[in-house]
Structure 1
Amino acid sequence: MAIHMHNIGKMSEGEPFSWTSKDALLYALSVGAGAGGPAKNLAFTTENSRGVDQKVLPTFAVVLGSTSGSMDGLGDFKLSQILHGGQQITLHRELATSGTVIPVSGMSAAYDKGKNAVIELSTELLDAATRELVATSVTTMIIRGEGGFGGPAGPSEQWKVPDRPADVIVVEKTSLDQALIYRLNGDRNPLHSDPQLAKMVGFDQPILHGLCTMGFAGRAVLEQVCGSDVETFGTLSVRFAAPVVPGDELATSIWKTETGAVFQVRVGETVVLDRGSYAHRRAVAGESTDHLAAATA
């Protein structure tokens, strides 16, 4: 059996990861902030606008320490077997415009899905100065052909679209150079930039990073559900369902709930991000969120 089940729960500390104001600004631009006009999203795209303090998009957390999770202890399967199935982030406090975190990562779960296996890789980001928990991310990886090892099937999924029209649909067009900008955050996988390699693996052209699409959805949720208040942002999770090509138009349908929202992203009729869910930070901590629902109604 290729998956190293004995390593579940073993966490290892990675190298400190530092970022600057410029890195946070670049990330915001790479997920479409400011594309609706130069005066829009100034808090995320500028650091010196009069009367506007710089803020950091919560989904920037996926970039921090993103290279810390080693694949060595997960199993002896090939990289070609791995699909990025989903992503979850939880913010325990607002992200600073600059700082240093220490990533602590490891395999947190492995599930037997029959033909395939699913592995969850968890990363805790600790403030390098105080060791305070800043954010947590969980990366879900589908390992093709490695199921049938007799492990647990995993928890049942409760996600569903409410039986009513979406409360809001946010439509944004990605730019033709979207992937070229996003890769500057650190993910230099040539699948997103090299036309020849993209064709070798079955795509007509380079595709957009799934985490970039997630960033677009995260901005939509932040604006429509949180009223752009980064201090309320808690947990966001998505399932990657289909590839997006730079230049595609993303339609994010959002249904507000008592504790946050559920959402789905489509390109035309194709669902590209599925099973999207969001919970306010106070909901994650078990506190009342009535005032947030009223503010964004």
Structure 2
Amino acid sequence: MPIDYAKLKSMQFEPIRHTYTRRDTMLYALGLGVGASDPTDTGDLKYVYEKSLVALPMQAVTLAAAPMLLAQPEFGINYKLLLHAEQTLQIHKPLPTEATVIGETSIDEIYDKGAEKGAILYLTRKLFDAASGDLLATMGNVAFLRGDGGFGGKSEGAPKPRPVPADRAADHSVALTNMPNQALIYRLSGDYNPLHSDPEIAAIAGFNRPILHGLCHYGMAGRALIKTLCADDPSRLQRLDTRFTSPVYPGEPLHVEIWNIAAGDASFRVVASERNVIVQDFGRCEVRI
């Protein structure tokens, strides 16, 4: 059964109301490895200790997400072959350490790359503070539908991410903390996909052990970029976009390479250090100067 393009484009997602607490904010940061290297570091403590708690802006990706309606048979998507390909984030106001938020999700477009090449689906989620009505963040989720190409849709017009500079070395290289139990902690922020915790499920998917959530190492990279480009002030982060290019295993060494492009604008990628494999590419980070 091919994708039902018209039904997908007209699908209405119900707004999602989500209340999170200071405990959730601290748990999210712990899931990124914050405090693991030095639990007395004052820069890390502000994300995991209630005394002067600050929320990491990347936490927005875990809040008020719509249920996975795309798995319903009437849409024609082979959900088992769906991959999270890209993530974008624009921060409009600092994320509160605790709040009730409302998420509004919509499908922007679906591009047909061909019967053997799959399809690309673009979704947008807007996150609002329920108390004030303020728009806190706008997120984009790009899904690669590996088994759903050839449905007759348009193939051109998809946004093209900016590549990292190929003509010079990175201006910064920052090691990321990736603990062996990283996925087991991160999943407590709401992503309970057993691919990240169950060895049997991972083996069925073709991996020799559970893999790390893409949004976990996305958040880890964001933490490093805030520290490197924002003087560790998370309120300065305005944009964080990336493309996921290869799986990551909990515990393996990672580092983020950062290029300064212009004032307040940087490119980045994340590399699995021992394997020398790029696991995030086309990264873009914009900060308030």
From 166, 187, 190, the counterpart of 1:183: 187
Q: 1:255-283 CA deviation, whole Å, 9 max, x = no partner?
A: 12223211000113100111111122x5x
Checking the alignment, whether the CA contact within 8 Å between 1:9 and 1:106 is kept in structure 2 is no
From 111, 130, 133, the counterpart of 1:131: 133
Residue in 2 aligned with 1:122? Answer: 124
Amino acid aligned to 1:82: L
**Secondary structure of 1:87's aligned partner:** strand
Mapped to 2, the partners of 1:161 and 1:83 lie a distance apart of 22
Checking the alignment, whether the CA contact within 8 Å between 1:9 and 1:108 is kept in structure 2 is no
**Secondary structure of 2:75's aligned partner:** coil
Task: Kindly indicate whether residue 36 of structure 2 is the aligned counterpart of residue 35 of structure 1.
Answer: yes
Provide structure 2 residue ranges, at least 5 long, that are not aligned to the other structure.
none
**Secondary structure of 1:33's aligned partner:** coil
Residue in 2 aligned with 1:20? Answer: 21
Q: 1:36-92 CA deviation, whole Å, 9 max, x = no partner?
A: 2012211111112xxxx2111111011011244632599221211211111111111
Q: 1:111-143 CA deviation, whole Å, 9 max, x = no partner?
A: 122321000111111111222211111111011
Residue in 1 aligned with 2:60? Answer: 61
Amino acid aligned to 1:150: G
Task: Kindly indicate whether residue 254 of structure 2 is the aligned counterpart of residue 266 of structure 1.
Answer: no
Mapped to 2, the partners of 1:167 and 1:157 lie a distance apart of 24
After TM superposition, list the pairs within 5 Å mapping 1:30-109 onto structure 2: 30-40=31-41, 41-48=44-51, 53-68=52-67, 70-71=69-70, 72=72, 75-109=75-109
**Secondary structure of 1:277's aligned partner:** strand
After TM superposition, list the pairs within 5 Å mapping 1:232-271 onto structure 2: 232-258=236-262, 259-268=264-273, 269-271=276-278
From 174, 177, 198, the counterpart of 2:178: 174
Checking the alignment, whether the CA contact within 8 Å between 1:199 and 1:205 is kept in structure 2 is yes
Q: CA deviation at 1:7?
A: 4.2
Checking the alignment, whether the CA contact within 8 Å between 1:69 and 1:105 is kept in structure 2 is no
Mapped to 2, the partners of 1:3 and 1:143 lie a distance apart of 13
Provide structure 1 residue ranges, at least 5 long, that are not aligned to the other structure.
283-291, 293-297
Q: 1:22-41 CA deviation, whole Å, 9 max, x = no partner?
A: 10000001001112201221
Amino acid aligned to 1:31: L
Checking the alignment, whether the CA contact within 8 Å between 1:74 and 1:107 is kept in structure 2 is no
Task: Kindly indicate whether residue 197 of structure 2 is the aligned counterpart of residue 193 of structure 1.
Answer: yes
Mapped to 1, the partners of 2:241 and 2:4 lie a distance apart of 24
Amino acid aligned to 2:50: E
Residue in 2 aligned with 1:223? Answer: 227
Which piece of structure 1 moves more, 62-71 or 15-24? Answer: 62-71
Q: Which runs of 4+ in 1 moved over 6 A?
A: none
Q: CA deviation at 1:102?
A: 0.9
Checking the alignment, whether the CA contact within 8 Å between 1:5 and 1:110 is kept in structure 2 is no
Amino acid aligned to 2:147: G
Q: CA deviation at 1:164?
A: 1.9
Across the aligned residues of Structure 1 and Structure 2, the Cα RMSD in angstroms comes to 1.9
What is the TM-score normalised by the length of structure 2?
0.90
Mapped to 2, the partners of 1:134 and 1:74 lie a distance apart of 33
